[in-house]
Amino acid sequence: MTTDELIWRIAGGSGDGIASTSQNFAKALMRSGLDVFTHRHYPSRIRGGHTYTEVRVSADPIRSRGDGYNFLLALGDSFARNPQENAYYGNEEVKPLSENLDDLDDGGVIVYDSGLLDTDDIPDFDQRVEEHGWHVYDIDLRTIAREHGREVMRNTAGVAVTCAIAGIEPEVIKSLMDDTMPEKVFEPNMSVFDDAYGVVTEEYDADAPDISIPSGSHDEEQVLISGSDAIAYGALDEGCRFIAGYPMTPWTEVFTIMSQNLPEVGGISEQVEDEIAAAALAIGASHAGVKAMSGSSGGGFALMSEPLGLAEMTETPVVLIEAMRAGPSTGMPTKTEQGDLEHVLYTSQGDSHRVVFAPADAEEAYRQTRRAFQIAYEYQIPSIVLYDQKNGGELQNVPASVFDEAPNPDLGSVITEAELADAPHDPSGKYNRFQHGVEDNVSPRSIPGQEGGRYLATGNEHMPAGHISESPDNRVNQVNRRMSKMETIRAELDADGGQRNFHHGPADADYGILTFGSQQGTAVEAVDRLNDEGESVKLLGVSELAPYPVEEVTGFIESVNEVLVVEMNASAQFRGLTQKELGRFGDKLSSLLKYNGNPFEPAEIVEGFVTSIVEDGRLPGHETKFVPAAGD
């Protein structure tokens, strides 16, 4: 049992308010000066089905979920199905309690709503409690809630019980509830809170568990933010005022945040008939002079393949967001995976050229979404922000100052009417919008409605003014010009200053861990622990995937004996990309993979590294999988 941090898991059914309760809990503790980090687990159902959110709380900075957890608040599943005998989904009603026992630390706390849950339904419950030294609090939260208000307020009762046991000042929670609840809801919630808090202090031994909330303080004001929030905010600060989309989990979050905020800043959001239309609308709006975006998750992004290629061919700037979930096909809609890397890199016919960023966390998501817009509009190329269910939904505290940045509505490489007067035109009066031999091979675009700027944008190969052409000479010139932008962009990213991707650990380490996107924070914690345990390991978390940071990754791999590539998919896509881009190191890169729908815990990376690299042994379970380097 760790006492320097609380990892609180609130479990119930879908629709029981688990997400909002945990969000308020996390925010309250953040306000009290602590660092927080959440992890969500939920089913693809509107009502019912086991769902939980973990809130990790520490006085020290945290960037990952923890290993297991130490405090369970098990509410009932109000919308559980009534199972027939041998139903494969089992007894859903007790799952918020029964499903969470395996991960609970020894000496941990169990609070459960005895108004809804009966431990007689759980095999060997008492025996397991004794074995693991768990402290159990069976409290009728439902009845307390009903007495003072409504049944849904049992979440408040559960939070009050948590405070009493973990030693959290009630005022920390209450002041936040006061801020977020209307008075007529706030009053009964306070009564529920006080009653439940009193029950623990009066009738139970609240001090029995060896757990106490740490105290902390922040040097500056913090905000509780998710990756999805940060992507949307990056887009808004970059002057994006148009989004088109179609709902799909987990992308829906970004789409929702944008749709709710855009009208307030005079922007337009369009929910349309399908994802082909969504991407096409973003291209149409961008073509007409507005900074625009669209996005989806894997299945919807598949439908965007053809518009994506059109944006490449017509050199129309656009930013697309791809929120990965477990595939193929419908896969596991609410579970996380990093299996769409190759999909976003290569989908659509012909030679792809697009920019792909895979931010690790909220801060990177904000910065890289902004960068994605800058590059898209400066270089007239599609930019993709690739993230996943994990970092889209994780809430973490970030200094508010991260967002204290100037807006940038610059449309990038466009021409004005005044400039058009002296610009090259073809004999029919069309502007040569796709010119060869221009700076950085980017030919400034005109916008429909500009005098003297007319041209034809077409998905066919075309001449400088847009006329369709199959001339071999023109073809080679145009392909070379378009493709060369990738090298220019790479050079620009490198010029931003040295190491662009995330390095962590001793520079002279013997071994390396290489990962991309959302696994970075967890890998940081694993690397710290490995070094504490006497290993010599450093980390490179890559978030610029195309154009690939060849020099930076080459330097990293060359500096160590062996590299373990950590990613969440079954076919080692990031390792494959790295080998393709670097053209070597096949015998130096092994893989640690996870694809069961749940993100890595730090201990899994530690174990994977020690067992597979240091001891040359085999991993015991099948939660993660080791794939050795070529020839190993």
Distance between CA atoms of residues 74 and 222, nearest Å? 29
Choose between 179 and 351: whose C-beta lies nearer to another protein.
179
Distance between CA atoms of residues 557 and 367, nearest Å? 26
Q: Which stretch binds another protein (CB under 8 A): 424-432, 485-493, 522-530, 559-567?
A: 424-432
Q: Tokens 């076919």, residue? A: 571
- Footprint on residues 433-452 left by another protein (CB under 8 A): 447-452
Distance between CA atoms of residues 585 and 575, nearest Å? 10
Choose between 152 and 457: whose C-beta lies nearer to another protein.
457
Looking at the DSSP assignment, which residues form a beta bridge with residue 566? 515, 592
SS3 225: strand
Choose between 198 and 407: whose C-beta lies nearer to another protein.
407
Choose between 163 and 465: whose C-beta lies nearer to another protein.
465
Tell me the per-residue interface mask from 59 to 98 with another protein, x by CB under 8 A, - otherwise. ----------------------------------------
Least CB distance to another protein at residue 300 (A): 14
Helix H or strand E encompassing 546: strand 544-546
Choose between 44 and 271: whose C-beta lies nearer to another protein.
271
- The amino acid sitting at 70 is N
- Footprint on residues 332-371 left by another protein (CB under 8 A): none
Choose between 386 and 395: whose C-beta lies nearer to another protein.
395
Among 39, 41, 174, 291, binds another protein (CB under 8 A): 291
Neighbour-count burial for 346-361, b at 16+ CB within 10 Å, e otherwise: ebbeeebbbbbbbbbb
Instruction: Say how many C-beta atoms besides its own lie within 10 A of residue 330's C-beta.
Output: 11
- Footprint on residues 459-518 left by another protein (CB under 8 A): 459-460, 465-468
- Footprint on residues 392-421 left by another protein (CB under 8 A): 400, 403-407, 409, 411, 416-417
Indicate the pairing of strand 5-13 with strand 50-58. antiparallel
- Footprint on residues 13-42 left by another protein (CB under 8 A): 31
Q: Which stretch binds another protein (CB under 8 A): 88-96, 272-280, 524-532, 575-583?
A: 272-280
- Footprint on residues 189-248 left by another protein (CB under 8 A): 221-225, 229, 233, 236-237, 239, 241-242, 244
If binding is defined by CB under 8 A, does position 178 make contact with another protein? no
If binding is defined by CB under 8 A, does position 288 make contact with another protein? yes
What sign does the dihedral 566-572-574-576 (CA atoms) show? positive
The candidate with the shortest Cα–Cα distance to 397, out of 226, 223, 230, 232, is: 223
The pairs formed by 405-411 with CB atoms below 8 angstroms and a separation of 24 or more are 405/237, 405/370, 407/237, 407/238, 407/239, 408/237, 408/238, 408/239, 408/370, 408/373, 408/374, 409/238, 409/239, 409/291, 410/239, 410/374, 410/377, 411/289, 411/291, 411/377
Q: Which stretch binds another protein (CB under 8 A): 261-269, 526-534, 561-569, 587-595?
A: 261-269
Size, binding site for another protein by CB under 8 A: 79
Q: Tokens 């998919």, residue? A: 569
Q: Tokens 């918020």, residue? A: 96
What are the structure tokens assigned to 619, written together? Answer: 């991993």
Least CB distance to another protein at residue 467 (A): 6
- Footprint on residues 298-337 left by another protein (CB under 8 A): 306-307, 310, 314
Q: Which stretch binds another protein (CB under 8 A): 42-50, 111-119, 260-268, 568-576?
A: 260-268
Least CB distance to another protein at residue 154 (A): 26
Choose between 87 and 400: whose C-beta lies nearer to another protein.
400
DSSP codes joined into one string, 486-501:
HHHHHHHHHHT-S--S
Choose between 148 and 291: whose C-beta lies nearer to another protein.
291
If binding is defined by CB under 8 A, does position 274 make contact with another protein? yes
Choose between 266 and 534: whose C-beta lies nearer to another protein.
266
Least CB distance to another protein at residue 39 (A): 18
Query: What Cα–Cα distance (Å) separates residue 217 from each residue in 33, 60, 94, 401?
Result: 4, 10, 38, 16
